A and B are shown apart, each in its own frame.
Chain A
Amino acid sequence: MTWGRFLLLRLAAAVAALAVVSVLVFAATAVLPGDAVGVLSGADTTAAQRATLRADLGLDRPAHERYLDWAGSLLRGDLGTALVGGRPVSDLLADRLPNSVLIAVLSLLLVAPLSVVCGLVAGMHPRAAADRAISTATLCGVALPEFVVASLLVTVLATWLGVLPRVSLVPLGGTPLDTPEILVLPVLSTVAVGLAAATRLIRTAAAQVATAPFVEAARLRGVTGPRLALRHVLPNAIGPAVQSLALVTAALVGGTVVVETIFSYPGIGYELQQAVANRDVPVVQGLTVVLAGIALVVLLLADVVARLVDPRQGRHP
Chain B
Amino acid sequence: MTHHIGRRSMLRGGLVAAAALATGPALLAGCGSDADPTPSTPSGPPRRGGTLRAALVGVGAAETLSYFHGGTNLDFVRARAMHAALGNLDPTAPDGVRYEVLEGIDVSADLRSYTLRIRPGLTFSDGSPLTARDVLYSLITPNDDPRALGVYKTPGRNFDLAKAEVKDVRTLVLPTLAPIADGRLLLCQGNYLVLREGSRFEQNAPTSGPFRLTTFEPGQGTALVRNDEFALPGLDGAYLDGLELRNIPDSDARASALTNGQVDFAGDLAPITARTLDGDDRVVVTRSESPYVSGLFFRLDMTRKPFDDPRVRTAFKLAADRQAMLDTVLHGRGVIGNDLLSPGFPGYADGIEQRPFDPDGARALLAEAGARNLEVTLTTGPETPGMVEVATLYVENLKQIGVRATLRELPAGQLFADFPAYVKLPFAASFSVPVPPMPLYQVSYGGQNPSALGWNRPDVDALVTKARSTADPAEANRAAVAAQQAMWTDGNTIAPVFKPFVTATVPTLRGVREDLFEQFPGFSRASLR
Query: Which A residues fall within an 8 A CB radius of B?
Result: 33-35, 38-45, 49-50, 82, 84-87, 92, 95-96, 154, 158-159, 162, 165-167, 169-170, 172-173, 261-264, 266, 270-271, 274-275, 277-280, 283
Question: Are A172 and B14 in contact, CB atoms less than 8 angstroms apart?
Answer: no
Q: A169-B246, A172-B244, A277-B411 are in contact. Are A271 and B219 (CB under 8 A)?
A: yes
Pairs across A and B, CB under 8 Å, 26 listed: A34-B418, A34-B420, A42-B14, A42-B149, A43-B14, A43-B419, A43-B423, A50-B420, A84-B69, A85-B61, A85-B218, A95-B218, A159-B256, A165-B257, A165-B262, A169-B220, A169-B221, A170-B220, A173-B223, A262-B253, A263-B253, A264-B249, A271-B219, A274-B413, A277-B417, A278-B417
Give Cα A165–Cα B260 distance, bound, in whole angstroms: 7
Distance to closest chain A CB from B17 (angstroms)? 11
B5 at the interface (CB under 8 A from A): yes
Distance to closest chain A CB from B257 (angstroms)? 4
The bracket for how many chain B residues form the interface is: 35 or more
- Taking A43-B150, A277-B412, A277-B413 as known contacts, 12 extra A-B pairs with beta carbons closer than 8 A to each other, sorted by chain A number, are A39-B418, A43-B15, A43-B419, A84-B59, A85-B62, A166-B257, A167-B262, A169-B220, A170-B220, A264-B250, A277-B411, A278-B62
B484 at the interface (CB under 8 A from A): no
Question: Are A42 and B62 in contact, CB atoms less than 8 angstroms apart?
Answer: no
**Within B193-238, which residues are at the interface with A (CB < 8 Å)?**
215, 217-223
Distance to closest chain B CB from A130 (angstroms)? 37
Contact with A along B141-152 (1 / 0, CB 8 A): 000001111100
Contact with A along B122-160 (1 / 0, CB 8 A): 000000000000000000000000111110010000000
B268 at the interface (CB under 8 A from A): no
Residues of chain A lying within 8 A (CB to CB) of residue B14: 42-44
Question: Are B62 and A274 in contact, CB atoms less than 8 angstroms apart?
Answer: yes
Give Cα A154–Cα B15 distance, bound, in whole angstroms: 36
Residues of chain A lying within 8 A (CB to CB) of residue B20: 43
Residues of chain A lying within 8 A (CB to CB) of residue B12: 42-43
Question: Are B262 and A169 in contact, CB atoms less than 8 angstroms apart?
Answer: yes
B342 at the interface (CB under 8 A from A): no
How many A-B pairs have beta carbons closer than 8 Å: the answer is 150
**Within B1-36, which residues are at the interface with A (CB < 8 Å)?**
5, 8-9, 12-16, 20
Residues of chain A lying within 8 A (CB to CB) of residue B508: none
B451 at the interface (CB under 8 A from A): yes
B63 at the interface (CB under 8 A from A): yes
B361 at the interface (CB under 8 A from A): no
Give Cα A33–Cα B410 distance, bound, in whole angstroms: 12
Distance to closest chain A CB from B419 (angstroms)? 5
Residues of chain B lying within 8 A (CB to CB) of residue A33: 418, 421
Distance to closest chain A CB from B66 (angstroms)? 9
Give Cα A59–Cα B59 distance, bound, in whole angstroms: 26
Residue of chain A at shortest CB distance from B414: A277
Distance to closest chain B CB from A268 (angstroms)? 10
Residues of chain B lying within 8 A (CB to CB) of residue A85: 61-64, 69, 218
**Nearest 4 pairs of A and B residues by beta carbon:** A34-B418, A277-B413, A43-B14, A85-B62
Give Cα A165–Cα B53 distance, bound, in whole angstroms: 15
Question: Are A172 and B13 in contact, CB atoms less than 8 angstroms apart?
Answer: no
Give Cα A42–Cα B276 distance, bound, in whole angstroms: 38
Q: A166-B262, A172-B244 are in contact. Are A38 and B417 (CB under 8 A)?
A: yes
Question: Are B260 and A92 in contact, CB atoms less than 8 angstroms apart?
Answer: no
Residues of chain A lying within 8 A (CB to CB) of residue B8: 84, 278
8 Å CB contact of A172 from B150, B223, B262, B450: B223
Residues of chain B lying within 8 A (CB to CB) of residue A280: 62
